[in-house]
Amino acid sequence: MTGEGGRGTGDEGNAIAVATWSLSEPAEVVDSLFALLSEDERVRAAAFVREEPRRRFIVARGRLRERLGERIGVAPADVAFRYGPNGKPAAEGVQFNVAHTGDLALCAFADAPVGVDVERIRPIKNATALAERWFHADEVARIAAAPEPLAEFFRTWTMKEAALKLVGVGVGESLPKVLTPAEGAGWATGLPGNELGIDRCWVEPLAIDMEHVAALAFSPPPSSV
Ligand SMILES: CC(C)(COP(=O)(O)OP(=O)(O)OC[C@H]1O[C@@H](n2cnc3c(N)ncnc32)[C@H](O)[C@@H]1OP(=O)(O)O)[C@@H](O)C(=O)NCCC(=O)NCCS
């Protein structure tokens, strides 16, 4: 599934568009996308030991360059990325964030910082232990009480990661302090210190398909809140 959709977020002027695309492309398409990559991206592609992740990386970056180039009015190969202290890519003229899982890429484009995450819903043996280690105590209780604990686990995971990716902080020790909303959209609080000075953000689920769960994080919230 591949697509693009607009998403208004109220009167703050932060229109958000969300796009998904497939990372599985024939060899000739991979080659043409490779031609768009910068030297450092080619070095990164070459460092993959396995062919499949290497091809996925090339398609993810190549397609991202195409979409960013269209938005900011430059050729895809001329999009210049800079990186935050923890590796969040940024470009002049548009805010964006990318996530991928398997053959699927998800990206949000906006006027203000955004974060996204997507995961394929799959069985996880130690979901309870993982949640106890990395999630907020309220979230652990919520997962235990949910009619579908695994779906709730992934919903919580994507919301937490989207919030941390909004502020450009890596997933790590700060995870248990971030508290995501109990259901639907809402505030994620307890964000770690970051260069944007944001300590909470709005997170909401994104509908992708039956196999995936995804979340979008942004700030400020829609005016309807
Ligand atoms: C960012 C992070 C949460 C991504 O997790 P993931 O589940 O592996 O990957 P996702 O599919 O969700 O997202 C990957 C994309 O997020 C973006 N990204 C990378 N670092 C990011 C960050 N710190 N914040 C937001 N987005 C980031 C990139 O576009 C990346 O795609 P790319 O690898 O094709 O360039 C994880 O890699 C992380 O914690 N990184 C931080 C590392 C860190 O703190 N380093 C400190 C010393 S440099």
Whether 4 has a pLDDT exceeding 90, the answer reads no
C-alpha of residue 134 to centroid of ligand 1, in Å: 17
Q: What is the DSSP letter of 116?
A: E
CA of 57, closest atom in ligand 1: 34
77 by DSSP, 3-state: which? helix
Whether 9 has a pLDDT exceeding 50, the answer reads no
C-alpha of residue 164 to centroid of ligand 1, in Å: 10
Whether 221 has a pLDDT exceeding 90, the answer reads no
C-alpha of residue 47 to centroid of ligand 1, in Å: 17
Predicted pLDDT of residue 220: 73
Pocket test for ligand 1, best of 54, 58, 82, 98 (most atoms within 8 A of CB): 98
Over the chain, what is the mean pLDDT?
Answer: 91
88 by DSSP, 3-state: which? coil
The pocket around ligand 1, CB under 6 angstroms, is made up of 57, 60, 86-89, 97-100, 117, 161, 165, 168, 170-171
Whether 195 has a pLDDT exceeding 50, the answer reads yes
Burial class (CB in 10 A: 0-12, 13-18, 19+), 72: middle
Predicted pLDDT of residue 60: 98
**86-124 residue pLDDT tens:** 999 999 999 999 999 999 999 999 999 999 999 999 999
Predicted pLDDT of residue 15: 87
The token pair that represents 194 in the structure block: 């970051």
Return the minimum-mean-pLDDT range out of 8-22, 128-142, 195-209: 8-22
Strand order in the sheet with 114-120: 114-120, 212-218, 200-209, 186-189
CATH homologous superfamily of 3-218 equals 4'-phosphopantetheinyl transferase domain (3.90.470.20)
C-alpha of residue 87 to centroid of ligand 1, in Å: 6
Cite the DSSP H helix spans in the chain.
27-34, 39-46, 51-72, 127-134, 137-145, 149-166
Predicted pLDDT of residue 140: 97
Whether 156 has a pLDDT exceeding 80, the answer reads yes
Q: Phi and psi dihedrals of 194, rounded to 5?
A: -150, 165
119 by DSSP, 3-state: which? strand
The span from the CA of 142 to the CA of 46, in Å, is 43
Of all protein residues, the one whose alpha carbon is nearest to atom 34 of ligand 1 is: 57
